[in-house]
Structure 1
Amino acid sequence: MNVKSILIGAASMVLATAATAQERVAVITPYLAQPGTQFYIDGFEAAAEGRGWEVNVIDTAGDIAAVISRIEDAVTQNVDAIVINVDPAQVEAGLAMAADAGIPVVGMDAGMSPYVATNVTSNGYAMAAETAAYVVNRLNGQGNVVMFVFDPFPPVQIRGVIADAIFANTPDIEVIARVTPDVQDGGIADSRAQMEALLAANPEPGSISAVWAAWDQPALGALQAVEDAGRAGEGIVIVGMDANPQARDAIAAGGNFEASMAQDFEGIGAAAAEAVARLVSGETITAPVTYVPTRLITSANVAD
């Protein structure tokens, strides 16, 4: 065999190896019961499939501590990248292990951390401001509001903080309850039960003017409670965030559920995949947060 043949053969082997190389990515979340998380992951997996990646989706079913163990497992398996959908501050031990191993981590609607190359998300500040302002304007700046929040998760905690500020800046708006529902099932069932209790404690028509929810599940639970209590006719304004299919159906029905912010879930998943691709290719991402656009959904554009 001559030198030319050897070089051609070696080049062919390199090309074959490159063609069959497959990036392995672990996607880890405790929130797969949430529709939004499911949509993020759908978008990520679709983008990953186009790149020929092997993706392992790991759900710890609400167990935050287990996320650390699953990150450590991914590091032991020497994956090429890790994507998280959880508060980075709660899983730092696992993230530090990934950093030590040189494995890049991308947040998918997670939070900022020195261990996270970039967090791909919607602008929670803007979403909360727009939905809270919608409530204030619909009530002409006066009324009693129930808030459904979830402070343990940074992207949702941010929304509550901004809504708090807007309601506090409106003198005749009073927040009569700030509820953190159980999210094991996504949040609908417990939010419904909590809203039922609030309706019973405030039986007079007009005693509850609006419900502001930091995501759609509590808003849907509150809607069920209002309708079942026979109080839909009081004009209680309900606003959520995410614009998931159930929320869109409720808005289209023209009842109490009036508005929700549409996040581009698949877009967030695709942008997270793009961030992973850049990192595994050796690129450095300088922006700690990558925002994907949102828009307010009401009866005027829900059919679009």
Structure 2
Amino acid sequence: MKKLLTTAAALGLMASSTWAETVAVITPYLSQPGTQAYVEGFEAAAAEKGWDVNVIDTAGDVAAVISRLEDSVTQNVDAIVISVDPAQVNVGLLAAQEAGIPVVGMDAGSDPLIAANVTSNGYAMAAETSVYLANRIGGEGAVVMFVFDAFPPVQIRGVVADAIFGNFPDIEVLDRVTPDVSDGGIADSRAQMEAILAANPEPGSIAGVWAAWDQPALGALQAIEDAGRSDEGIVITGIDANPQARDAIAADGNFEASISQDFTGIGSTAADVVARLLAGEELRENVIYVPTELVTSANAAE
């Protein structure tokens, strides 16, 4: 009898030591520094929980996310994490729902088919940077906006900035640019800003650049510097405060402000949400915000 109990205990120990939850993390935006950071944050938190994590990058191909979702369902993963507009991958999310596999968004946008979306407060970030820019240019002048309406967390930033600038009768939105983000967004933003500068050659014809994330802000900065127009006082703001943006802000030039998102915190919080779902908890909230901070030359080096 004792031998049987010992054998059963050993088998139980083996089962507990070899079993691990499997989680698929799927995104088309892994080339973006912010996405990389919160995926890494998720992986670190998942490692502490003993999970097996498979990160799947579709390299800008949003449609391919549907196939990867369906593959993950077929592989019977325990949970799925996405960073993509849920509305664009509805078919894949339906497959996960039918299989009873919980899906959590990491800066993905809200949708009835995902249990929760963990993100920064895009409304607040856009309001803070657009008001900063409006105040810095004295409430007047032409502003260039860089937006990306195809991705809900970024789309809402543009909507809020539109509303803020619309409250200043002497601010004109000169152009609303959607850059190609396949390489991260810097190169095309630079090229488009070069064209805008060429079309508006007079000093003072452009007062500011508002970017919904840092890559377009950096591309615009490069274009302004290369055109020899840095001394015109064109004020640039971004969102994310990635390392390259922080360096540019610390240099005390045209790029003046960004918003620091806690990308690692988004990733680790998403992992905590997945853990709660796997434990059978019913979530009360479907949007979970992680705190942010305005970054200027005063704190960019911190």
Normalised by the length of structure 2, the TM-score is 0.98
* Matched residue type, 1:301: N
Distance 2:130 2:27 in 1: 28
What corresponds to 1:83 in structure 2? 81
1:237 aligns to what?
Answer: 235
- Verify: 1:113 aligned to 2:115, yes or no: no
Candidates 199, 202, 217, aligned match of 2:200: 202
**Cα distance in 2 between the residues matched to 1:159 and 1:97:** 30
CA contact (8 A) 2:247 2:301 kept: no
Deviation, 1:280, is 1.2
Structure 2 counterpart of 1:188: 186
Structure 1 position 69 matched with structure 2 position 67: yes
* Secondary structure of 1:301 counterpart: coil
Match of 1:96 in 2: 94
How is 1:265-276 mapped onto 2 (pairs within 5 angstroms)? 265-276=263-274
The 10-residue stretch of structure 1 (11-20 or 178-187) with the greater mean CA deviation from structure 2:
11-20
Distance 1:5 1:113 in 2: 53
Q: CA RMSD in A?
A: 0.9
Deviations 1:119-169 (A, max 9, x none): 000000000000000001101111110000000000000000000000001
Equivalence for 1:132? 130
Q: CA deviation at 1:283?
A: 1.3
Q: Can you give the 5+ residue segments of structure 2 that lack an aligned partner in the other structure?
A: none
- Structure 1 range deviating more: 135-144 or 160-169: 135-144
For the residue of structure 2 that corresponds to 1:295, the secondary structure is strand
1:1-304 matched pairs, under 5 angstroms: 2=1, 4-304=2-302
Output the amino acid matched with 1:302. Answer: A
Counterpart of 2:178, as a letter, is T
Shift in Å at residue 8 of structure 1? 4.3
Q: Residue type of the partner of 1:242?
A: D
- 1:153-187, CA deviations, whole angstroms, 9 ceiling, x for partnerless residues? 00000000000000001111110100000000010
Report the 3-state secondary structure (helix = DSSP H, G, I; strand = E; otherwise coil) of the residue aligned with 2:139: coil
Partner amino acid for 1:237?
A: V
Letter of the structure 1 residue corresponding to residue 37 of structure 2: F
SS in 1 for 2:256: strand
Q: Counterparts of 2:22 and 2:164 in 1: how far apart (Å)? A: 44
Q: Which moved more, 1:54-63 or 1:279-288?
A: 279-288
Q: Which moved more, 1:172-181 or 1:9-18?
A: 9-18
Instruction: For residue 239 of structure 2, give the secondary structure of its aligned residue in structure 1.
Output: strand
Q: Aligned partner of 1:52: which letter?
A: G
SS at match of 1:25: strand
SS in 1 for 2:238: strand
The TM-score, its normalising length taken from structure 1, stands at 0.98
Q: Report deviation, 1:20.
A: 2.1
Distance 2:182 2:130 in 1: 26
Give the whole-Å Cα distance in 1 for the aligned partners of 2:235 and 2:115.
39
Opposite residue 254 of structure 1, the aligned amino acid is: D
Query: CA–CA distance in 1 between the matches of 2:266 and 2:165?
Result: 29
Distance in 2 of aligned mates of 1:272 and 1:189: 31
**Unaligned stretches of 5+ residues in structure 1:** none
CA shift for structure 1 position 112: 0.6
Tell me how far 1:5 sits from its aligned partner.
4.2
> Are the counterparts in 1 of residues 193 and 223 from structure 2 also a CA contact under 8 Å?
yes
